[in-house]
Amino acid sequence: MLDLLIRNANLPDGRTGLDIAVKGGRIVEIAPSMAADAAKVIDAAGRLVSPPFVDPHFHMDATLSLGLPRLNRSGTLLEGIALWGELKPILTQEAVIERALRYCDLAVAQGLLHIRSHVDICDDRLLAVEALLEVKRRVAPYIDLQLVAFPQDGLYRSPNAERNLLKSLDMGVDVVGGIPHFERTMSDGALSVRRLCEIAAERGLRVDLHCDESDDPLSRHVETLAAEAIRLGLQGRIVGSHLTSMHSMDNYYVSKLIPLMAEAGVHAVANPLINITLQGRHDTYPKRRGMTRVPELLAGGVNVAFGQDCMMDPWYSMGSADMLEVAHMAVHVGQMTSLSAMRTAFDCVTVNSARAIGIEDYGLEVGKAAHLVILQARDAIEAIRQKPTRLTVIRGGKVIAETAPRRTSLTLDGRPETVDPADYAPPLNA
Ligand code: FE2
């Protein structure tokens, strides 16, 4: 007897009409028209069933703080940084925990069950670190939360950053973070990359740096990061986040850099909502987009994932914990409109993301944990287009969130009585 049987599911890879059998919290079979008894049966009715969304880059210590202590009136990165500086001294642990837990509720509703969040360690009280470690413990039954020790004000620019970073790692923070482009000089930035990678290698940890988040075509920290991955044997364990300077770099230089990143196994995380918003601010017109070279990185064999970065915080007033909104923006900014590129954009917020942050027990495969999301869409491309309702969110074979389908009643003479947005387009997988 199965615990759960999902009937007639379409999968993100384009396979259709499959049943997914779950027992003991794991996927035990994926096959058409299974003859099996189950304690619970869900008819997916030809809708998309996906592994959960994975956000590889977020800032949970700042989320939902919009308006505290005031709104970002200009909407710029610089006012955002100033605002965060005003907010930090008045943060309380209880308020950070409460906001983060509320964010996690929203994440679950959106089928987002794996999150890597940076946490600012430059405040000597390490209040946000303690708060997010508590949140990680509390949400563990339903969200895998990884924390990155992030020296927001610079490892060498901020006087106690290195000491605080090491202390945060001792306290249980999972990943080593950094911000080399924000150090005082390019050489200080390179030194910070080396030091941070050495700390990770000594402690057997992964690395995730905000790296070259600027429009500077001569920023070179991604190169240093890749070289350090090779030197220290950290291949596959390092993420370069943002990498926006690659948008502005010389093409010849990039033709050398991408193979180096592939050799070093450096994962690239773009944050399309934030990159398109914050980069290119010194340009008049033409105005640069600022997102890293996603199609070129993918073509060069680099694993690329998309992160949300911010939601309703000092830097970004928008966001909705919806990784499909993130993928939708990436498709547009990166002109990823070929059929295969749109399908890949879905992978960039699911399987590629899981790979980037090292989640192994993940995916729509026999033997993997039965973490699943049923969406009100028929395939991955339609899901990106519609950003549809997450009808059912399943964790370890158990339903943890349900949302009624979006359906509108019409009272128009001679027109249908209801509109279901999922019924309005021919399936692209046909
Ligand atoms: Fe970030």
> Active site residue: 183, 213, 223, 228, which one?
213
**368 alpha carbon to ligand 1 midpoint, in Å?**
30
**315 alpha carbon to ligand 1 midpoint, in Å?**
10
- Whether the pLDDT of residue 321 is over 60: the answer is yes
**405 alpha carbon to ligand 1 midpoint, in Å?**
33
pLDDT of residue 247: 98
Spell out the residues 6+ positions from residue 381 whose beta carbon is closer than 8 angstroms to its own. Answer: 339, 342, 343, 346, 428, 429
**376 alpha carbon to ligand 1 midpoint, in Å?**
30
pLDDT of residue 424: 73
- Whether the pLDDT of residue 279 is over 80: the answer is yes
**12 alpha carbon to ligand 1 midpoint, in Å?**
28
pLDDT of residue 7: 98
Residue 213 known to be catalytic: yes
pLDDT band at 329 (very low <50, low <70, confident <90, very high): very high
Q: How far apart are CA 366 and CA 391, in angstroms?
A: 23
**Are 2-51+363-423 and 53-356 equal in CATH topology?**
no
Six-digit token string for 333? 């900014």
**353 alpha carbon to ligand 1 midpoint, in Å?**
15
Boundaries of every domain in the chain: 2-51+363-423, 53-356
Q: What is the mean pLDDT of residues 73-100?
A: 91
8 Å CB contact between 290 and 277: no
The domain 53-356: what is its CATH number?
3.20.20.140
**150 alpha carbon to ligand 1 midpoint, in Å?**
9
8 Å CB contact between 86 and 62: no
The reply to whether omega before 69 is within 30° of 0 (cis) is yes
- Whether the pLDDT of residue 427 is over 60: the answer is no
- Whether the pLDDT of residue 107 is over 60: the answer is yes
Candidates 385, 370, 422, 406; CA nearest to 50 is 370
Q: How far apart are CA 367 and CA 393, in angstroms?
A: 19
Percent of the chain with pLDDT over 70: 99
**4 alpha carbon to ligand 1 midpoint, in Å?**
38
**309 alpha carbon to ligand 1 midpoint, in Å?**
5
Average pLDDT, the chain: 96
**244 alpha carbon to ligand 1 midpoint, in Å?**
12
- Whether the pLDDT of residue 430 is over 50: the answer is no
Q: Running DSSP on this structure, what letter comes out for residue 309?
A: B
pTM over 0.95: yes
- Whether the pLDDT of residue 182 is over 70: the answer is yes
- Whether the pLDDT of residue 428 is over 70: the answer is no
330-386 confidence digits (pLDDT tens): 999 999 999 999 999 999 999 999 999 999 999 999 999 999 999 999 999 999 999
pLDDT of residue 78: 80
The domain 2-51+363-423: what is its CATH number?
2.30.40.10
Six-digit token string for 202? 């000594």
pLDDT band at 421 (very low <50, low <70, confident <90, very high): confident
